[in-house]
């Protein structure tokens, strides 16, 4: 019996769980599938800082809203991974090859290390990654966990 699917989610997806944005409904499908045990969501430790930073710049978010969002994120028990030497080295290679930030490449390197899909809502990142087989755009109906049966 195969284990549940592992999916690396980036901050552009997770931020949509706390702030109504384009594709928030699709982003919430990943969260719900994780909570229900259908998939395991994974991210580098950087995710926590990136989500907090993105929400910090939302004008409608108070300091208390931000703290509560971070507590709620922690309660979801996403598998947070610290960087390893191999993942960091791979992130550097990916960043240089595709002309992206180390922040973005850390998610992709983690996905590669797990042979897992990486889901983003960052269209510019997807464009730069070309046809990388593990990087998928949020909202692609063939890739949403609720539609994968």
Please give the chain's pLDDT, 149 residues, in tens: 468 999 999 999 999 999 988 899 999 999 999 999 999 999 999 999 999 999 999 999 999 999 999 999 999 999 999 999 999 999 999 999 999 999 999 999 999 999 999 999 999 999 999 889 999 999 874 444 444 33
Q: 30: domain CATH number?
A: 3.40.50.1010
In a domain, 66, yes or no: yes
Residue 16 lies in a domain: yes
Q: Is 42 within 8 Å of 79 (Cβ atoms)? A: yes
Q: Is residue 104 part of an annotated ligand binding site?
A: yes
User: What pTM, to 2 d.p., does this model score?
Assistant: 0.90
Q: What is the domain extent for residue 132?
A: 5-84+114-147
In a domain, 100, yes or no: no
Q: What pLDDT, on the 0 to 100 scale, is given for residue 131?
A: 84
pLDDT value at residue 139: 84
Say if CB 36 and CB 142 are below 8 A apart. Answer: no
Is residue 22 one of the residues assigned to a domain? yes
- Residues ≥6 apart with Cβ < 8 Å to 91: 83, 102, 105, 106, 108, 109
- What pLDDT score does 2 carry? 62
Residue 78 lies in a domain: yes
pLDDT at 147: 40
* Residue 138 resides in a domain: yes
């Amino acid at each position: 019996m195969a284990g549940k699917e592992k999916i690396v989610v980036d901050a552009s997806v997770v931020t949509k769980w706390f702030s109504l944005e384009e594709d928030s409904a699709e982003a919430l499908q990943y969260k719900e599938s994780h909570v229900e045990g259908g998939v395991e969501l994974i991210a580098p430790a950087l995710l926590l800082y990136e989500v907090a930073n993105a929400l910090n710049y939302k004008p409608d978010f108070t300091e208390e809203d931000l703290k509560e969002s971070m507590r709620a994120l922690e309660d979801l028990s996403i598998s947070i991974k610290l960087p390893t030497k191999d993942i960091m080295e791979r992130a550097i290679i990916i960043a240089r090859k595709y002309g992206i930030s180390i922040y973005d490449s850390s998610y992709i390197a983690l996905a590669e290390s797990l042979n897992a899909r990486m889901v983003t809502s960052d269209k510019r990142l997807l464009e730069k990654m070309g046809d990388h087989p593990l990087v998928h755009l949020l909202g692609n109906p063939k890739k949403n966990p609720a539609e994968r049966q």
